Structure 1
């Protein structure tokens, strides 16, 4: 696997593959609190997440910072759970979590953790000395996959709010609650070594 397209495909698969559902779940939970009309804010928060995980992906892939996969496997579901709770609290307009800058900060900080997980996957694929272009292709694959997931998520949200006439609060509650529950299961499995 030394050509750039295979690194792009692996980056894509790391996000959209149902078996890599922890990152997929984080992206969906991150977007759950936003309405369709807030698509620009969704792009900004996804960009904040991207900046975070790109930074640690690059630093870890270049062996500048270490990544302990056991700790990362426990931190990933924890990031999902905190995001889910922040989504529910966000509906209270007087909450400190309703500030958009705090949401972006959370996405950026949690992106740092997710980037370490991406790096362990990337390092597993890497053979040879040339790391820059494969790293770039892998990261672009992650980003394109991430945007694809957000687009699908927004299509489902459109169907729910426009065709079914569902309330956004219930959508947020369902997606965030499901994200929290699945992440809690992942965390329990990681703690128990499964």
Structure 2
């Protein structure tokens, strides 16, 4: 039983760190890059809200309660990354960023719902769609996300203390790089190129 639990958790972890599915990594990067270590609780809450969103749509998609065109989801996932990265560019260095909790959390939840539909498409390839498997899979995803977010926070700390990047420059540069990576993903999506 425990062996099966860890196997399912590992499927979730592997899905996040899969080099072919780096879109999820890019979203986590732009979600976490504006923050520093002292904000770790807020970042953890954001990531958990994202997990709640994609877990809800994962369950709904896995049980065919919700079905969405796969091409649309593959188009919308990079759009969520692009919107988050652009938001970072326009709010980089602004002092009141942390005060607007509601809209940021709701947007993260909504984007999680979109990403979860992508996970549900992945799970169509796996025969086990039991609720226990979905919970264990989601736990693996959450573990991988938390690790990635702490890596982003650590890299931000290193660049801002050792290499003397300003926080604003760190957010602008990484968010701009992500924008440059997702625009081709959007252009090459099957929705735009049937």
Query: Does TM-score exceed 0.5, indicating one fold?
Result: yes
Q: Cα 1:36–1:4, aligned 2, differ >3 Å: closer, same or farther? A: closer
Q: Report the equivalent of 1:89.
A: 90
Q: How many residues align?
A: 190
Q: Secondary structure at the match of 1:41?
A: helix
User: What is the CA deviation profile of residues 144-167 of structure 1, one whole-angstrom value per residue up to 9, with x for unaligned ones?
Assistant: 111111121112112111222211
Q: Report the equivalent of 1:106.
A: 107
Matches within 5 A, 1:41-56: 41-56=42-57
* TM-score with structure 1 setting the length: 0.89
Q: In 1, distance between residues paired with 2:141 and 2:97? A: 31
**What is the Cα deviation at residue 67 of structure 1?**
2.7
Name structure 1 gaps, 5 residues minimum: none
Alignment RMSD = 2.2
Runs of 4+ more than 6 Å apart = 94-98
Q: In 2, distance between residues paired with 1:77 and 1:125? A: 24
Q: Report the equivalent of 2:150.
A: 151
Q: In 1, distance between residues paired with 2:8 and 2:168? A: 39
Q: Report the equivalent of 2:139.
A: 140
Q: In 2, distance between residues paired with 1:85 and 1:29? A: 9
Q: Secondary structure at the match of 2:188?
A: helix
Q: Cα 1:141–1:166, aligned 2, differ >3 Å: closer, same or farther? A: same
**What is the Cα deviation at residue 96 of structure 1?**
9.0
* TM-score with structure 2 setting the length: 0.89
Counterpart contact for 2:93–2:167, Cα < 8 Å = no
Counterpart contact for 1:90–1:98, Cα < 8 Å = no
**What is the Cα deviation at residue 117 of structure 1?**
0.4
Q: Cα 1:95–1:148, aligned 2, differ >3 Å: closer, same or farther? A: closer
**What is the Cα deviation at residue 11 of structure 1?**
1.1
User: What is the CA deviation profile of residues 39-74 of structure 1, one whole-angstrom value per residue up to 9, with x for unaligned ones?
Assistant: 111111111111111110111111111132110000
Counterpart contact for 1:16–1:149, Cα < 8 Å = no
Counterpart contact for 2:79–2:186, Cα < 8 Å = yes
Q: Secondary structure at the match of 1:124?
A: coil
